[in-house]
Chain A
């Protein structure tokens, strides 16, 4: 039951994020929308890991390992995009 609920929540987050990613014209909002999609996808992975509990395991470690990598990648990407945004919004300077 809870797995279904979390799955639906993940799907909703992905949907909202994708909508924002496509509709919003500014880069900062697109970046936030990307993070929203990311959160939804990670939640879906959590649900997938949890479903192994039905087979008697505490949880499937493989999706958890993937989520950790995904979070690290999303964090690094957000940092890179934020740096680019900060450089662009700052005063014009010679490189």
Chain B
């Protein structure tokens, strides 16, 4: 393990950008102030990934020199830097796509958007590097507040109703999570994951606490049947905001669930994992069918997010070994997370550009779009390729690994659900593409080419994961199993 300040800077840099935005609000346009901080955060994430890959060890920093159990540590392991890189690339794509000329949205709305983008980034980096249950809580709250504000950004009545519903679900989730933290602390008097790993027993109190925390986090991840808040919230937010919400925000609570069941209390595959996979399977089937019936493009994409989140939960029973990070289910699940992140960000941004060009996003009236906006539509199609799991795409590799793991584990129903989910995804993606490729001559407002290019770049990232299928195996296992920090090196 290497001591490094980089994880701290990764959390702090967006906050510094936020302060700069507040100070310069009167004089400089918000995107100009935010841009250097976006660039700096991107650089930090990439350099952390490079360091972790070259040294094959996690980057660790104990804040203030205090070691656990009293102190807090930030620790960027393989999974952490993998997700931070995903976050950085998606955020940069969103920033380029949201970079609009001076006309358009009110300046107050633009200011809020850039401020919330930076706040969200900081919260995500904290969630990916935090190592104790309390820090997770802080990161989740930062995340929820920024996300709710992003949903309410438009200020229309529908957006406010969606934001309020999202907030209530998120609050119920947080308070259940906090209750679980209280029970764990009461039982073990430790909150640090590595410390808990050594002493945690699968007794009634611990399992009850984990169940409370997991259900609370499921409400924040929008796993079926706690998903009701997501479609209106993600479809009602402005497109760049929806891209961040769908691609990144729902993934942070999932990562914490994963850390709870892999790092805190590694159990052999048993009832909890089966229940989570069952809910994931239900999410894939039910939400894909609902997505098929949507008339509006953004709602369709939001329901597709619910289905794709379901895939993530399939990985729990597919990591049976004593070292789950060496199982293909682990890599498959995390690759699904990343490829869905890129693909969904590209899809929401594409839907936003389509809305700008046509003035609506009704699926049945997309005719003629292919001729007028080929770049946007190509990005949409490539992202759809990854959602369906067709080769060569990140989604294909991820689903192939999950499928192989399911067959190896003898879980035939998981394999069947993965295949059925791919077919259903093909139905809803091709339905939208078919309408867009139809003849028609709609009036089209011009959209700057660099913004379409940013969307295409994100879609190509989802595709690119498919070309390096074996690289992530090693990266995702760095820093595991979790070791307690004995002394400051």
**Interface size of B by Cβ–Cβ distance < 8 Å?**
33
| Additional 17 contacts, C-beta under 8 A, given A66-B181, A69-B138 | A27-B168, A31-B168, A37-B179, A41-B175, A45-B182, A48-B182, A62-B70, A66-B134, A66-B178, A74-B175, A76-B145, A77-B141, A77-B145, A77-B171, A80-B149, A84-B163, A85-B164
Contact residues of A between 41 and 64, Cβ < 8 Å to B: 41, 44-45, 47-48, 51-52, 60, 62-63
A12-24: CB near B (< 8 Å → 1, else 0) gives 0010000001000
CA A38 – CA B148 in complex, angstroms?
A: 20
Q: A60-B189, A70-B178, A73-B141 known; A92 and B167 CB under 8 Å? A: no
Contact residues of B between 149 and 163, Cβ < 8 Å to A: 149, 152, 154-157, 160-161, 163
User: Does B172 sit within 8 A of A, measured CB to CB?
Assistant: yes
Interface of A, secondary structure class, is helix
User: Does B174 sit within 8 A of A, measured CB to CB?
Assistant: yes
CA A44 – CA B181 in complex, angstroms?
A: 11
* Partner pick for A41 among B138, B152, B168, B178, CB 8 A cutoff: B178
B178 and A30 contact, CB distance less than 8 A:
no
CA A44 – CA B161 in complex, angstroms?
A: 32
* Partner pick for A44 among B141, B164, B168, B179, CB 8 A cutoff: B179
Most buried by B among A45, A62, A81, A95: A95
CA A34 – CA B144 in complex, angstroms?
A: 16
Chain A residues in 8 Å Cβ range of B179: 14, 37, 41, 44
Q: A76-B145, A84-B163, A88-B160 known; A48 and B171 CB under 8 Å? A: no
Chain A residues in 8 Å Cβ range of B137: 66, 69-70
A-side residues, CB < 8 A to B, are 14, 21, 27, 30-31, 34, 37-38, 41, 44-45, 47-48, 51-52, 60, 62-63, 66, 69-70, 73-74, 76-77, 80-81, 84-85, 87-88, 92, 95
Q: A84-B163, A95-B156 known; A62 and B175 CB under 8 Å? A: no
**B215–chain A nearest beta-carbon distance, Å:** 11
B-side residues, CB < 8 A to A, are 70, 134, 137-138, 141, 145, 148-149, 152, 154-157, 160-161, 163-165, 167-168, 171-172, 174-175, 178-179, 181-183, 185-186, 189, 191
CA A69 – CA B161 in complex, angstroms?
A: 27
A34 and B182 contact, CB distance less than 8 A:
no
A87 and B134 contact, CB distance less than 8 A:
no
CA A92 – CA B161 in complex, angstroms?
A: 13
CA A44 – CA B175 in complex, angstroms?
A: 12
CA A75 – CA B3 in complex, angstroms?
A: 36
**B154–chain A nearest beta-carbon distance, Å:** 7
Q: A84-B152, A95-B156 known; A63 and B182 CB under 8 Å? A: yes
B167 and A44 contact, CB distance less than 8 A:
no
Chain A residues in 8 Å Cβ range of B164: 27, 81, 84-85, 88
Closest to B108 in A: A95
Chain A residues in 8 Å Cβ range of B161: 88
**A71–chain B nearest beta-carbon distance, Å:** 11
B168 and A95 contact, CB distance less than 8 A:
no
Chain A residues in 8 Å Cβ range of B154: 95
CA A52 – CA B189 in complex, angstroms?
A: 9
B172 and A41 contact, CB distance less than 8 A:
no
CA A62 – CA B157 in complex, angstroms?
A: 42
Closest to A55 in B: B189
B155 and A95 contact, CB distance less than 8 A:
yes
Can you show 10 pairs from A to B with CB atoms below 8 A apart? A21-B168, A27-B164, A30-B168, A34-B168, A44-B186, A62-B185, A77-B171, A80-B167, A81-B167, A85-B164
Most buried by B among A47, A48, A88: A48
CA A66 – CA B141 in complex, angstroms?
A: 13
Closest to B187 in A: A48
Closest to A14 in B: B179
**B157–chain A nearest beta-carbon distance, Å:** 7
Closest to B133 in A: A66
A92 and B145 contact, CB distance less than 8 A:
no
Closest to B180 in A: A41
Most buried by B among A31, A37, A41, A92: A41
